[in-house]
Amino acid sequence: MSKRYITAQVHGMCGGVFSALRKLDEVVAANCGKTVYVLHELVHNTTVTSQYEARNVCFADSVDAIPAGAVAVIGAHGLDAGTEAILRSRAKTVIDATCPLVKKLQNIAAQLDKKRELIIFGKSGHPEVAGVAGNSNAKETFIVSSAADIAALPELTAPFFISQTTVDAAKSDAALQLLKKRFPQLEYSAGVCDASLKRQNAVISLAKRCPVIIVAGSAHSSNACRLREIAAAQGADSYLVDKASDIPEDVLKNSSLIGITSGASTPECVINDIIHHLEQAGFSS
Ligand code: SF4
C-alpha cells in the first residue's frame, strides 16, 4: 500500500512566538553567560524550554524564585498587573515579551469601567487568562468554558465578553451567541487571534482529507490541544505529540494517509523530525 503524508497549509510558530524568542535571544546574548530568568515559560513548548535551559535561562515557577537584581523576561502569555509590579520592583531589568495580541486583551480589560463585569471565555488557570483577568478594572471577572458555566452566571448589568486568544474559534462564537441571548446588553471584542484562526481552519481542511492527524506540540499548549480536538471533531484519529518518537507504532504501520500540523509555539525542527520519522517508515509527501 502506498503511504503518504500531507502537511497543513498553515502551521507552526506564529509572529507573537517568533517575537518572544527574538527578545529572549537578544537578552541571552547581551548577558554573556549570566543566568536570565523567565517567569513561567516563554512559550508552552518543552523543546523550546529545554533549548533555552541549555543556554543558562532559568524558568521560574513564581516571582519569589527570581533573585533581587536579576535580569527577567515576561513570557508571551503576559502577567497579571500585581505580579508584574512585584517583578519590576525586584529585578534589575525586565524585558516584556508578551505577545502584542495578548497585551491588547489586557489593555481592553484594564480600560473597562468599574461598573462593568468582564466575561472571559477560556481556561481557568491558564497564564494568559490569569494575566487578562489580573489586569481587569471591571468590578467582577468571570471565566467560562462551557454552556453550563454560562448558565451558572449570575444576573449581570453591564457585561463585556472577550476570549482567550487560542481557544476554538467556533466554541468561542457559540459562547458569544449564548451570552447575547442571556444578556442582550452584552458588548464584546474579538479575542481569538488570527494565527490561531488560520491554524484551526487549516487543520479542518486537512482532517477532511486525512483519516489520521498528527499535531506537533506540547500537552500544556492551549493552541496545540485545540488543533488536536478540532481535527478529532472532524472525525480524524488525532494525536498530539511532543516529538517524533511519541507517534504510536501502530499508527505508522496501519495508516496510508497522515496529515501533519503543528502548534503556534512548536519549533520547525520538531515537525521536520516528524516528517523524517514518517519517511523512514515508508511515507512520502
Ligand atoms: S497564538 Fe496568537 S496570541 Fe498567542 S503568541 Fe501567537 S499570535 Fe500571539
DSSP-assigned beta bridge partners for residue 237 = 212
CB of 102 within 8 A of CB of 120? Answer: no
* Ligand 1 probe mutation, 10, 11, 13, 17, most atoms within 8 A of CB: 17
Distance 134 CA to ligand 1 centre (A): 19
Question: Tell me, what CATH number does 246's domain have?
Answer: 3.40.1010.20
Grid coordinates standing for 7?
A: 502537511
Q: Give the residue carrying C-alpha cell 486583551.
A: 105
Q: Which residues, at least 6 apart from 30, have a Cβ–Cβ distance to it below 8 Å?
A: none
Ligand 1 atom closest to residue 76's alpha carbon, by position in its atom list: 5
Active-site residue list: 128
- Report whether residue 75 contacts ligand 1, using a CB cutoff of 6 Å: no
Handedness of CA 221, 223, 229, 235 (dihedral sign): negative
Give me the pLDDT at residue 190, please: 85
Distance 156 CA to ligand 1 centre (A): 30
285 within a domain of the structure (yes/no) = no
pTM score: 0.95
203 within a domain of the structure (yes/no) = yes
* Ligand 1 probe mutation, 45, 74, 166, 172, most atoms within 8 A of CB: 166
Give me the pLDDT at residue 67, please: 96
Distance 225 CA to ligand 1 centre (A): 14
DSSP state letters, 143-198: EE-SHHHHHT----SSEEEEE-TTS-HHHHHHHHHHHHHH-TT-EE---S-HHHHH
Q: Give the residue carrying C-alpha cell 441571548.
A: 181
3-state secondary structure of 73: strand
- Report whether residue 191 contacts ligand 1, using a CB cutoff of 6 Å: no
Last-in-domain residue among 172, 188, 204: 188
Q: Which residues, at least 6 apart from 202, have a Cβ–Cβ distance to it below 8 Å?
A: 8, 9, 10, 11, 261
- Report whether residue 196 contacts ligand 1, using a CB cutoff of 6 Å: yes
Q: Which residues, at least 6 apart from 261, have a Cβ–Cβ distance to it below 8 Å?
A: 7, 8, 11, 199, 202, 203, 206, 213, 214, 215, 216, 227, 231
Question: Tell me, what CATH number does 57's domain have?
Answer: 3.40.50.11270
Q: Give the residue carrying C-alpha cell 454560562.
A: 150
* pLDDT lower than 70: segments of the chain: none
> Where in the sequence is the domain holding 80, given as residue range(s)?
15-98
Number of domains in the chain: 3
pLDDT digits (tens, 9 = 90+) for 192-213: 999 999 999 999 999 999 999 9
Last-in-domain residue among 56, 71, 98: 98
Smallest CA-to-CA distance from 224 within 251, 199, 191, 194 is with: 199
| 107 & 179 share domain | yes
127 within a domain of the structure (yes/no) = yes
